[in-house]
Amino acid sequence: MSTTPQAPPYSRKNPFPAKLVVSQTLTLSGSEKETRHYEFSLAGSGMQYEPGDSMGVFAKNNPKLVEDLLEALHFSGGESVTTKEGETFTLREGLLHYFQITQPSKQFLELIAERSATRAELKELLDPERKRDLDNYLWGLEIVDFLLDNPSLRLTVEEFVRTLRKLQPRLYSIASSLKAHPEEVHLMVASVRYESHGRKREGVATTYLADRVAVGAEVPMFVHIAKGFRLPEDPSTPIIMIGPGTGLAPFRAYLEERKALGASGKNWLFFGEQRHNCDFFYKEQLEGLQKEGVLTRFDTAFSRDQPNKIYVQHRILENSKEIFDWLESGAHFFVCGDAARMAKDVDVALHQIVEKHGGKTPEQAAEYIEALRKEKRYKRDVY
């Protein structure tokens, strides 16, 4: 008898309203960060995910920023807005949940360049050849800044709204295994808060989750499948996981999964954060997994506990011979977290290890690592 597979009912287009059941800080007093642990209920959704997948989360903008924008634009908020999809709502509603209202679009910048005297430099910066200078100029600047320093500027609602992009869902690596937590999904999220040009700024989704969603409230979300970031199919395959900061999230899921499966493969985790005392996320759980033998090797790098920085790649290099032996015995090498700095430096360390212990030239080491990548044994999920 054949059964027709049913399309999953929940998707990006039809997100599931997942109830927030736990929201707590992972960072302790003394930390310079605010990294949080969230648990959502997927009960009744039938949603399935695998460790390595992410959740797409639909957030709402901060109502305070919406009011600041309306005031700067001299709008009441009650004006009617119709989207390209034909949906109609008030401008206030649109600014709250439909439009991206922090980082400016190119169209918005073009409008400002055309209509404002205070940002005369923008015209030149919008030349495609000056993309880098424009990015530097825009770092820490938001839509509201361009309006506040142009109090005499008068835009129509239509003119303004035409320049706005749609607010996109944010992805978060799933930090739990369904086998350990049926009908739940756990996320590990670093709240984005900073100050620039004299204003306090907030990341949309991270502060929505941290400040504006109460336990018991629902957040629309969907599973974003990441086939390229899965555990090896053979549960006896060893894995090496490099996960500083929130890069730890998928590896908590991997370890929970491997424990639930009773997988025999060895697991080696490298975790890094600023300080042992206040930034050692899931310390008890990870140390417990080590005692149980699920976590075969566990190395940490706390960057700010001593005058010189110690990062995960330093720990990797200290253990270079064993890392190479694990790779030679078929281990998969996973990296998750910061793309701009960490993932690049870890990649350099990996090349050094292969050169040193494989007796290879830089070119041969690059070939070896390329082969790992092709065999899907060097997997990265970086952002």
Ligand X SMILES: Cc1cc2nc3c(=O)[nH]c(=O)nc-3n(C[C@H](O)[C@H](O)[C@H](O)COP(=O)(O)OP(=O)(O)OC[C@H]3O[C@@H](n4cnc5c(N)ncnc54)[C@H](O)[C@@H]3O)c2cc1C
Kindly tell me which of 156 and 194 has the beta carbon lying closer to ligand X: 194
Q: For residue 256, state whether it binds ligand NAP (rule: CB under 6 A).
A: no
Least distance in angstroms from the C-beta of 249 to ligand NAP: 9
Least distance from C-beta 341 to ligand NAP, angstroms?
3
Nearest C-alpha neighbor of 101 from the set 194, 12, 201? 201
φ/ψ of 347, rounded to 5, equals: -65, -40
Tell me if 337 contacts ligand NAP by CB under 6 A. yes
Contact flag: residue 340 with ligand NAP (CB under 6 A): yes
Q: Residue 61, interface with ligand X (CB under 6 A)?
A: no
Residue 184: CB partners within 8 Å, gap ≥ 6? 21, 39, 40, 41, 42, 176, 178
Candidates 342, 350, 365, 372: give the one binding ligand NAP (CB under 6 A): 342
Torsion of CA 315, 235, 176, 207, to 10 degrees: 50
Binding residue count for ligand X, defined by CB under 6 A? 23
How many residues belong to the chain?
383
Q: What are phi and psi of 226, to 5 degrees?
A: -125, 80
**N-term to C-term CA, the chain:** 45
Instruction: Report, in angstroms and rounded to the nearest whole number, the Rg of the chain calculated over CA atoms.
Output: 24
* Alpha carbons 319 and 298: distance in angstroms, whole number: 11
Which value, to the nearest 10 degrees, does the dihedral of the CA atoms of residues 139, 144, 146, 148 take? -130
Q: Judged by CB under 6 A, which stretch of 42-50, 114-122, 190-198, 352-360 contacts ligand X?
A: 190-198
Whichever of 226 and 372 has its CB closer to ligand X, that residue is 226
Instruction: Name which of residues 236 to 255 contact ligand NAP (CB under 6 A).
Output: 244-246
**Residue 137 makes contact with ligand NAP by CB under 6 A:** no
| Interface with ligand NAP, residue 108, by CB under 6 A | no
Contact positions toward ligand NAP, by CB under 6 A? Answer: 33, 35, 190, 244-246, 272-274, 303-304, 309, 311-313, 337-338, 340-342, 345, 383
Contact positions toward ligand X, by CB under 6 A? Answer: 54, 102-103, 139-140, 170-173, 188-190, 192, 194, 196, 203-206, 246, 249, 381, 383
